[in-house]
Amino acid sequence: NEGKLWGGRFASGPSPELDALSRSTHFDWRLTPYDLAGSRAHANALRRAGLLTDDDHTELLRGLDVLGERYAAGVLLPDPSDEDVHGALERLLLDEVGSDVGGRLRAGRSRNDQVATLFRMYLRDHLRPVAGGVLDLVDVLATQAAAHGDAVMPGRTHLQHAQPVLLAHHLLAHAQPLLRDVDRLLDWDARVASDSPYGAGALAGQTLGLDPTLVAVELGFTGSSANSIDGTSARDFVAEFAYVCAQVGVDVSRLAEEVILWSTREFGFVRLHDSWSTGSSIMPQKKNPDIAELARGKSGRLIGNLTGLLATLKALPLAYNRDLQEDKEPVFDSVDTLEVLLPAFAGMVATLTFDTDRMAELAPQGFSLATDVAEWLVREGVPFRIAHEVAGACVQRCEELGVELDELTDEQYAAISPHLRPAVREVLTVAGSVAARDGRGGTAPVRVREQLDELRTRVASY
Ligand code: ARG
C-alpha cells in the first residue's frame, strides 16, 4: 500500500480491478492548480495554528510552487498508480520536499473537504468563459437587430403565421433569455462565494484549531460553509451550474432550430456564410447548417449531463459518498461543450444574411392582419367578441375567394359587416400593424429601438 493515502489498516493492496475502477486522474487532473492553491492556504492555516515551523512552512510552499510550475509547463503528470488528483499531488509533493515535511500537510483536512472546495473554485473560474461566450452571442444578436432596423417578418405561434413583427424584435427575443442565463450564473456565483468547505474535514470539522474563514478568503471566497456535513456532501451547486449550462444549450437550440428552418428553400429567410456552413461528400449542391444542428444536438448532451448528475445525487445519504466522484465529468463536459459551441454559434449568427424582401412579402400573408381588423373594430366601438367574429368572417371570405385581406373590395367588406367602412384599410399594411403595437415591449420600431438600447446598456454593465 505504499503511496496510497489510506494504506495503514490494510494488509494487502487493492486489486488492479479496484484501482482501475477507482481512478479519476484522467478527469480530475484539471483541478491541479486549485488543489495546489488549497494546499498553500492550508499550509498557511497550519502555520497560524502553530503546527508547522517556519522552515517547514517555507519548504512546503516552495514544493507546491515547483509543482505548480511543472503543471503550467505541462510536465507534471499523474502516475497510473495514483487514485485521484489529491493523492497524486501529495505523492509528487513528498518526492519534492521529502516525507517528513510533506507528510505534515494533510493534517486537519480530508479529500472530502478538499474536493468540495476545489470543484467550487474550478466552476467559479470557468463561469467567466461561459458567461463571456453567452454575452458575445447576445452582442451578435444585438448587432444583427440593429442592422435590420425596420425589417419585418411573419411572427408565428404554433409555427403558423400569427402577426407581423420586426426581425429585430424576434432576434432580441432570443437575446433576452441568454441575458437571463448570464444573470443566473452570477446569482450562482454569489451563493457559492460564501460557502468554502475547506476546514470541514471528512464531515465533522477538525480538531486542530484551523480557521476556515481565513482559508476561504485566501481561496477567493467570502466565507466558509456554515455546516461541515453540508459543505462536504452537497452538490446542488454542481447541479445548478449544470442546469444553467443546459438552459444555455436549450436557448441556443431554439434559435438553432429556426436558423435551420429559415435556411431551407421553402422558407428562404437566411443565407449562411460559406465559412460557417458545410457541404456534402456526395451532393455537390449542398450547403448545410451544421453549426446550428450541432448546437441543437449538443443541447441534448447538456441536458443529459444535468439529468445524469441529478440521478447520481438522488437518495445519497449524508455525508460524503464515493458516488460523488461521478459529479465532475458531466459538468466538466458541459463547460467544455459550451466553450467550443458558443464561439462557433456566434460566428454563424454574425454572418447570416437575411432576405428581408422575402420576409416582408410573407409577413402579411396567411391573414396575419386579422387581429388588426378586429382591434380597429374595437376602436370603432364594436365589442371585441363581435369584432373577432367579423374579422374571422373576413378571413373565411378571403379563403373562399383565394385572396388576402387587403385584396377584399370595399363592397365585400361592407357585405360582411356594416362596421367595416373603407377606412379599415388603414390597418391593412404590415408597417401600420407593427407601428401600432407601441406599448412597452411591443414590436413597434420605436419600442424595439428602446429595447435594443436597454439591452446594450445591460450588456455593458456586466
Ligand atoms: N476523488 C474523490 C472525489 O472526486 C475524492 C476522494 C474522496 N474519497 C474518499 N474515499 N473519501 O469525490
pLDDT in tens, 319-372: 999 999 999 999 999 999 999 999 999 999 999 999 999 999 999 999 999 999
**What is the distance in A from the centroid of ligand 1 to the CA of 111?**
6
pLDDT for 9 beyond 80: yes
* pLDDT surpassing 80 at residue 433: yes
**Nine cell digits for residue 287:** 450547403
Domain count, the chain: 3
Q: Which atom of ligand 1 has the smallest separation from the CA of 202?
A: 11
Judge if 321 and 353 occupy the same domain.
yes
Q: Do 130 and 257 fall within a single domain?
A: yes
Tell me if ipTM is over 0.95: yes
| Ligand 1 pocket, residue 90 CB under 6 Å | no
pLDDT at 93 over 90: yes
pLDDT tens sequence across 22-62:
999 999 999 999 999 999 999 999 999 999 999 999 999 99
Nearest CA to ligand 1 atom 4: 325
Q: Reply yes or no on whether the pLDDT at 8 is more than 90.
A: no
Establish whether residue 84 lines the binding site of ligand 1, counting it when its CB lies within 6 angstroms of any ligand atom: yes
Q: Is 233 in the pocket of ligand 1 (CB under 6 A)?
A: no
Predicted pLDDT of residue 301: 98
Residue 122 in contact with ligand 1 by CB distance below 6 A: no
Cβ(117) – ligand 1 distance below 6 Å: no
- Asked if residue 200 lies in contact with residue 212, where contact means CB atoms within 8 angstroms, the answer is yes
Extract the runs of DSSP E, i.e. beta strands, from 79-233: 152-157, 160-166
Instruction: With a cut of 70, say whether residue 78 has pLDDT above it.
Output: yes
Query: Atom 5 (ligand 1): residue with closest C-alpha?
Result: 111
CA of 390 to the centre of ligand 1 (A): 70
112 lines ligand 1 (CB under 6 A): yes
Alpha-carbon span 367 to 162, nearest angstrom? 8
Q: Is residue 94 part of a domain?
A: yes
| H/E run at residue 270 | strand 270-271
In the reported structure, the alpha carbon of residue 22 is separated from the centroid of ligand 1 by a whole-number distance in angstroms of 9
Among 119, 117, 123, smallest CA distance to 24 is for 119
* Grid coordinates of 153: 417578418
**What whole-number distance in Å separates Cα of residue 186 and Cα of residue 170?**
26
The domain that holds 422 is classified in CATH as 1.10.40.30
439 occurs within a structural domain: yes
Examine residue 205 and state whether it is found in any structural domain, yes or no: yes
What pLDDT band is residue 2 in, cutting at 50, 70 and 90?
Answer: low
Taking all residues of the chain, what is their mean pLDDT, rounded to a whole number? 96
CA dihedral 390, 393, 394, 399 (to 10 degrees): 170
Atom of ligand 1 nearest to the CA of 84: 1
Q: Is residue 444 part of a domain?
A: yes
Give the contacts of 155 (CB within 8 A, at least 6 positions apart): 161, 162, 163, 164, 165, 170, 368, 443
User: Region 189-206: what's the mean pLDDT?
Assistant: 97
Kindly state if the Cβ of 324 falls inside 6 Å of ligand 1: yes
Q: Which residues form the catalytic set?
A: 158, 280
- pLDDT for 4: 79
Question: pLDDT tens digits, residue range 141-178?
Answer: 999 999 999 999 999 999 999 999 999 999 999 999 99
* DSSP calls for 24-49: -HHHHGGGHHHHHHHHHHHHHHHHHT
Domain extent at residue 68: 16-107
Both 72 and 168 in one domain: the answer is: no
Residue-by-residue DSSP string for 307-325: HHHHHHHTTPPSS--GGGG
Q: Counting atoms of ligand 1 from 1, which one is nearest the CA of 324?
A: 12
- Which residues sit opposite 164 in a β-bridge? 154
**Average pLDDT rounded to a whole number, residues 400-407:** 94
pLDDT at 12: 86
Could you tell me the distance, in angstroms and rounded to a whole number, from the CA of residue 107 to the centre of ligand 1? Answer: 17
* Substitution candidate for ligand 1 out of 316, 322, 324 with most atoms within 8 A of CB: 322
CB of 88 closer than 6 A to ligand 1?
no
User: Do both 225 and 238 map to the same domain?
Assistant: yes
DSSP string, 207-234: SS---HHHHHHHTT-S-B-S-HHHHHH-
Peptide bond into 319 cis (omega under 30): yes
Do 163 and 68 belong together in one domain? Answer: no
For 95-114, the pLDDT digits (tens) are 999 999 999 999 999 999 99
Ligand 1 centroid to 231 CA: how many Å?
A: 14
Mean pLDDT of 84-100: 97
Question: Is the pLDDT at 5 greater than 90, yes or no?
Answer: no
The answer to whether residue 311 is domain-embedded is yes
Q: Which class for 191: exposed (0-12), middle (13-18), buried (19 or more C-beta within 10 A)?
A: exposed
In percent, the amount of the chain with pLDDT more than 90 equals 94
**Do 436 and 296 share a structural domain?**
no
Alpha carbon of residue 77 to chain centroid: 31
Determine the pLDDT at residue 11: 85
Q: How confident is the model at residue 13 (pLDDT cuts 50, 70, 90)?
A: confident
> What pLDDT score does 284 carry?
86
CB within 8 Å of 411: residues ≥ 6 apart: none
128 falls in which pLDDT band (50, 70, 90)?
A: very high
Is the pLDDT assigned to residue 1 strictly greater than 70? no
186/427: higher pLDDT:
186
Minimum-distance ligand 1 atom for the alpha carbon of 328: 4
Compute how many other C-beta atoms are within 10 angstroms of the C-beta atom of residue 207: 9
Question: Contact 57/39 with Cβ under 8 angstroms?
Answer: no
Amino acid at 428: L
Residues shown for the chain: 462
Q: What is the pLDDT of residues 214-241, one digit of tens each?
A: 999 999 999 999 999 999 999 999 999 9
3-state DSSP assignment of residue 301? helix
| Among 158, 167, 64, 94, CA closest to 430 | 167
DSSP line for 426-447: GG-SHHHHHHH--STTSSSHHH
Residue found by looking up cell 380597429 in the block = 376
Is position 8 within any domain?
Answer: no
Whether 325 is in the pocket of ligand 1, judged by its Cβ within 6 Å, is yes
